[in-house]
Amino acid sequence: MKITENKVVELEYVLRVGGEIVDESEPGEPLVYLHGHSNIIPGLERALEGKQVGDSLQVTVPPEEGYGERDEENVQVLPREDFEDDVEVGASYYAQSEDGSITPLTVIEVLPEGVRVDFNPPLAGETLDFQVSVKGIRDATSEELEHGHVHGGDLDEEE
């Protein structure tokens, strides 16, 4: 079975940025996602298309196919009263916009008049180097297809 749209894929990975490991799957706990539904970054998803169980590959994903370029307009100062008393640089929070959507942010500076935050994804602007091994592939269930993501992590049929 090959990785194509609507397949549930199980993979182990190591993600490096500038040669340094920034994320990796835990031993025995692979990443499981629904292919073709934007559940992983576009550049990695494209590179996995057509691969099979047992395939290993190294994939370099430029920012525009990963988390996007950094946008300095996404760095803003928010009122101090919007935060807890003990807000710290590096802390992550979630902001709710007027339309109800939730956006993650990272505190980059605590000022007397406010808190400077960054709404850019932490890996925005970075080239991502993945080492990936395909561990399992199966057809998605109708419920997974309806919801656009995997339910449960176990692959019953590895091929």
pLDDT tops 80 at residue 153 = no
Percentage of the chain beyond pLDDT 90 is: 81
Convert the pLDDT of each residue in 22-33 to its tens digit: 999 999 999 999
| Tens-place pLDDT, residues 55-86 | 999 999 999 999 999 999 999 999 988 887 78
Residue 97 confidence (pLDDT): 82
Task: Say how far residue 153 (Cα) sits from the centre of its chain.
Answer: 17
Q: For the segment 106-126, what is each residue's pLDDT rounded down to a tens digit?
A: 999 999 889 999 999 999 999
- CA pair distance 115, 84, nearest whole angstrom: 11
CB contact set of 31 (below 8 Å; sequence gap of 6+): 10, 11, 12, 13, 25, 40
Residue 95 binned pLDDT confidence (cut-offs 50, 70, 90): confident
| Number of helical (H) and strand (E) elements in the chain, helices listed first | 2, 9
Q: What is the pLDDT of residue 157?
A: 41
Does 72-118 match 7-67+124-147 at the fold level?
Answer: no
Rounded to an integer, what is the distance from CA 33 to the centroid of its chain? 11
Q: Looking at domain 72-118, which of 2.30.29.30, 2.40.10.330, 1.10.300.10, 3.40.50.300 is its CATH number?
A: 2.40.10.330
If one counts every other C-beta atom within 10 angstroms of the C-beta of residue 43, the result is 20
Q: How far apart are CA 115 and CA 121, in angstroms?
A: 18
Tell me the three state secondary structure of residue 45: helix
Chain segment 39-62, per-residue pLDDT in tens: 999 999 999 999 999 999 999 999
Ranges of each domain in the chain: 7-67+124-147, 72-118
Q: What is the pLDDT of residue 156?
A: 44
Q: What is the pLDDT of residue 82?
A: 86
Rounded distance, CA 72 to CA 56, Å? 36
The CATH T-level fold of domain 7-67+124-147 is: Chitinase A; domain 3 (3.10.50)
